[in-house]
Amino acid sequence: MSKRIDARNLNVYYSKFLAVEDVNINIEPRSVTAFIGPSGCGKTTFLRTINRMHEVIPGAYAEGELLLDGDNIYAPGVDPVNVRAMVGMVFQRPNPFPTMSIRDNILAGHRLNGARMSRSEADDIVERSLRGSNLWNEVKDRLDRPGSGLSGGQQQRLCIARTIAVSPDVILMDEPCSALDPISTLAIEDLINDLKEEYTVVIVTHNMQQAARVADKTAFFNIAGTGKPGKLIEYDDTSTIFSNPANEETQNYISGRFG
C-alpha cells in the first residue's frame, strides 16, 4: 500500500517559535521525494510532522492540515500512534534496539500490535523484510545476534527492514546516509529505488547528487535568516529543480552560490 501526502497551510511551532511556515505540497504515492535546503530551514521539522513525531518534543505543535489519501492526520480524535503505524520513519543515525536480536528488531513492530503469529509466519516476515532491505544475505546466519553488532550501513538497512516489516504506507527518511560510507550509501540508494514500487518515500538529504539520483521530485526549503521561519521555496520534478529551477534562491543553492 502506498498513500499520497498533501500538506495544506501547515505551520509548525516549537512553543512560540514558528519553525516552518505555510507549507503546501502534494506528494504522489509510489514516488521518491527529496527535501533539500540549508541547515536549520526546517526539513526535519516538516518531515516529522508527516507522522506526528514532532509531538514527542515538548511544546512542539502543528497547525493546518496534513492529508494521507485525503484523511487529515491532525483531525480531532486521531491517535498519533495509529498515524505512526502507517507512516514509518528511518533516522539519521542508525538506531536498532540494542537489547534485541536482529530478528526481534524486525518483529518489534508486529509484536506491538499484539499479533500472535506462528514461528513460520514470523520467519517469513523476517526474511521478506531483510530481503526487502538487501540485508538478508549478510545476516541470515546470525539472526539471533544483537543488532548493534552490525556495521553502520548494515544497521541502517536493519532499521529500514524494521520499518518495512510492518508494511507502512509511507516511509520517511531523515538523512539516512549521512553517517555512512559511499558503498553503504549506494546500497541504501538502490534500496530506496526499490522501495518506491510499494511505498511513498520522502527523504531529507544534504547531498544534492543523492537527491538527483534517487528522487522523482525535489522540494527546496529555505530560511530568510536566523529566527525566521523556514519555507517551501520550490517543488518540482528533480530534473527541473537541478537544471532549470524557476526560483532564484533555488538556483543559488544548487549552484553553490548560497547566502
Ligand X SMILES: Nc1ncnc2c1ncn2[C@@H]1O[C@H](COP(=O)(O)OP(=O)(O)OP(=O)(O)O)[C@@H](O)[C@H]1O
Residues that bind ligand X (CB under 6 A): 14, 17, 19, 37, 39-45, 57, 230
Tell me the three cell numbers of residue 121: 509466519
Closest distance to another protein from the beta carbon of 224 (Å): 29
Q: Which is nearer to another protein, 154 or 163 (CB)?
A: 163
For residue 176, the partner it binds in Mg ion, ligand X, another protein, none, with Cβ less than 5 to 8 A by kind, is: none
Sites for Mg ion among residues 31-60 (CB under 5 A)? 44
Site residues (vs another protein, CB under 8 A): 51, 53, 56, 58, 81-82, 84-86, 88-89, 91, 93, 95-101, 108-109, 112-113, 146, 148-149, 159, 162-163, 166
Q: Which is nearer to another protein, 108 or 186 (CB)?
A: 108
Closest distance to ligand X from the beta carbon of 248 (Å): 20
Give CA–CA dist 245/254, Å, rounded.
9
Give CA–CA dist 172/163, Å, rounded.
10
Give CA–CA dist 115/15, Å, rounded.
38
Give CA–CA dist 1/86, Å, rounded.
10
Quick one: which of 93, 60, 90 has its CA closest to 74?
60
Q: Which is nearer to another protein, 86 or 214 (CB)?
A: 86
Quick one: which of 24, 22, 18, 19 has its CA closest to 6?
24
Closest distance to another protein from the beta carbon of 62 (Å): 16
Q: Which is nearer to ligand X, 165 or 171 (CB)?
A: 171
- 2 touches Mg ion (CB under 5 A): no
Where does residue 7 rank: exposed (0-12), middle (13-18), buried (19+ CB within 10 A)? buried
